[in-house]
């Protein structure tokens, strides 16, 4: 399936989920720009994303929005940007929530820049006469204004979810305000957790080899997008990396990360009672009735000095579908502790859905309001 504007790239109503199955192209060390016209009535971009074809190392990426230079038919000024975003290590659609105002009928350039990864990170493109994309190589950031680069008649796997203005108002403090967009949340979603009964500072994690994990078992299939763990710190442990891994026949974490995310360990409390820390992950679909592991690492830390503590119930745990796992050799081997459970929450991705039409009942007649 080729990339299609309005469906899998460019401005879209709903985020794409399927593999675009385009032609692979190198993405790390590049800045790439896709031209598109904001649909009539469009008022905001709420999400921007890009397709990651393969598993590769964690790296930062930037997303941006450029206005259009009609004289040279290329990106001009950088008018919106989010410069700090964790790619994760999994393949699939990589997404960032934004709140960017746009004007319908205006030409823009959607932009993504990815830092270097040891393993080449690929995305997708499709040849498309009359559709223009630019690239800068190498690029360590999105420039302002955009300069140089190469223009090609192709489509990149870069998209932006937009919302439209509505013919609808609400009264706030006796002032009528126009509603520029409306969304509903489709429920709280699935979560698996063990959140009470912690009575121990728990498992210490720090350095290149001292990691910790908590296994859990799904009931139904769901798309995991975040975890919460109860943590404290010693010193300045640096970045916390959280990932989801499969487990082997012995219940130990195994294989590459299925998805991952990061958080600032230096901002944790140093109170041994700990605090709950949410870590967002690249959404990943977990299978039903399957055991997985939440794995925590602080690779810049030092065991015994600059480390985190993962609180647990080490006296009378009641969660029976998982347990604490620990490694002292960077995951080459794991030890199981079925008598201990760590505090965790594994939560489903719950997206806000844009309402594209609504009616109200007036005198037993339904009237369209947008």
Give yes or no: residues 159 and 304 share one domain: no
Residue 148 included in any domain: yes
Give yes or no: residues 134 and 249 share one domain: no
Give yes or no: residues 147 and 32 share one domain: yes
pLDDT over 80 at 357, yes or no: no
Q: Is 288 exposed, middle or buried (0-12, 13-18, 19+ CB in 10 A)?
A: exposed
Residue 156's pLDDT band (boundaries 50, 70, 90)? very high
pLDDT in tens, 90-133: 999 999 999 999 999 999 999 999 999 999 999 999 999 888 89
CB 81 within 8 A of CB 142: yes
Q: Which residue(s) pair with 23 in the sheet?
A: 125
Domain membership of residue 284 as a residue range: 191-348
Give yes or no: residues 129 and 214 share one domain: no
Q: Dmax over Cα atoms in the chain, in whole Å? A: 71
Give yes or no: residues 275 and 147 share one domain: no
* Number of domain units in the chain: 2
Quote the percentage of the chain above a pLDDT of 90.
79
Q: Which residue(s) pair with 216 in the sheet?
A: 292
Give yes or no: residues 109 and 22 share one domain: yes
21, 302, 45: which is closest to 180 by C-alpha?
A: 45
Give yes or no: residues 115 and 248 share one domain: no
The rounded distance, in Å, linking the Cα atoms of 307 and 215 is 21
Residue 99 included in any domain: yes
pLDDT in tens, 125-143: 999 988 889 999 999 999 9
Q: Distances in Å between the alpha carbon of 123 and those of 140, 156, 180, 262, 301?
A: 17, 8, 33, 22, 33
For the chain, the residue count is 370
Select from 164, 180, 208 the last residue of a domain: 164
Give yes or no: residues 149 and 298 share one domain: no
Residue 199 included in any domain: yes
Residue 358 included in any domain: no
Give yes or no: residues 17 and 97 share one domain: yes
Average pLDDT over residues 222-235: 94
Give yes or no: residues 90 and 205 share one domain: no
Look up residue 265 and give its DSSP letter. G
Give yes or no: residues 134 and 34 share one domain: yes
Residue 231 included in any domain: yes
Give yes or no: residues 134 and 205 share one domain: no
Whether the bond into 138 is cis, omega within 30 of 0: yes
CATH number at 63 reads: 2.60.120
The rounded distance, in Å, linking the Cα atoms of 71 and 224 is 45
Residue 65 included in any domain: yes
CB 227 within 8 A of CB 306: no
Three-state SS at 267: helix
For residue 354, the model assigns a pLDDT of 63
- With b for 16 or more beta-carbon neighbours within 10 A and e for fewer, the 174-204 pattern comes to eeeeeeeebeeeeeebbbbebeeebeeebbb
Residue 260 included in any domain: yes
Most confident of 73-82, 159-168, 349-358: 73-82
Q: Residue 223 corresponds to which tokens in the numbers above?
A: 């798309």
Residue 119 included in any domain: yes
The rounded distance, in Å, linking the Cα atoms of 55 and 191 is 26
The rounded distance, in Å, linking the Cα atoms of 180 and 188 is 25
pLDDT in tens, 162-195: 988 655 567 777 777 666 566 666 555 678 999 9
């Amino acid at each position: 399936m080729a990339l299609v504007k309005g469906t899998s790239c460019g401005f879209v109503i709903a985020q794409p989920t399927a593999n675009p199955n385009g032609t692979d192209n190198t993405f790390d060390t590049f800045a790439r720009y896709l031209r598109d016209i904001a649909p009539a009535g469009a008022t905001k971009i709420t999400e921007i994303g890009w397709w990651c074809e393969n598993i590769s190392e964690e790296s930062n990426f930037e997303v941006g929005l450029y206005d259009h230079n009609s004289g040279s038919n290329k990106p001009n000024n950088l008018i919106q940007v989010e410069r700090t975003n964790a790619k994760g290590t999994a393949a699939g659609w990589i997404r960032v929530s934004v709140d960017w105002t746009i004007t319908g009928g205006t030409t823009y350039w959607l932009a993504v820049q990815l830092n270097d990864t040891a393993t080449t990170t690929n995305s997708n493109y499709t040849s498309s006469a009359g559709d223009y994309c630019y690239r800068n190589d190498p690029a360590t950031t999105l420039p302002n204004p955009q300069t140089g680069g190469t223009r090609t008649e192709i489509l990149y796997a870069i998209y932006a979810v937009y919302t439209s203005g509505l013919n609808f108002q609400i009264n706030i403090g006796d002032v009528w305000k126009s509603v520029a967009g409306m969304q509903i949340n489709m429920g709280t979603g699935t979560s698996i957790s063990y959140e009470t009964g912690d009575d121990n500072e728990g498992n210490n994690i720090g350095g290149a080899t001292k990691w910790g994990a908590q296994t859990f078992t799904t009931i139904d299939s769901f798309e995991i997008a975040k975890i919460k763990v109860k943590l404290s710190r010693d010193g300045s442990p640096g970045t916390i990396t959280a990932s989801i891994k499969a487990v082997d026949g012995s219940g130990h974490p195994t294989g590459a990360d299925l998805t991952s995310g990061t958080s600032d360990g230096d901002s944790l409390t140093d109170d041994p009672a700990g605090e709950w820390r949410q870590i967002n992950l690249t959404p990943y679909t977990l299978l039903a009735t399957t055991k997985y592991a939440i794995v925590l690492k602080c690779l810049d830390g030092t065991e015994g000095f600059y480390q985190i503590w993962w609180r647990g119930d080490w006296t009378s745990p009641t969660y029976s579908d998982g347990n604490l796992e620990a490694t002292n050799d960077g995951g080459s081997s794991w030890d199981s502790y079925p008598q201990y459970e760590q505090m965790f929450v594994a939560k489903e991705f719950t997206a806000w859905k844009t309402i594209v039409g609504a009616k109200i009942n007036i005198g037993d007649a339904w009237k369209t309001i947008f």
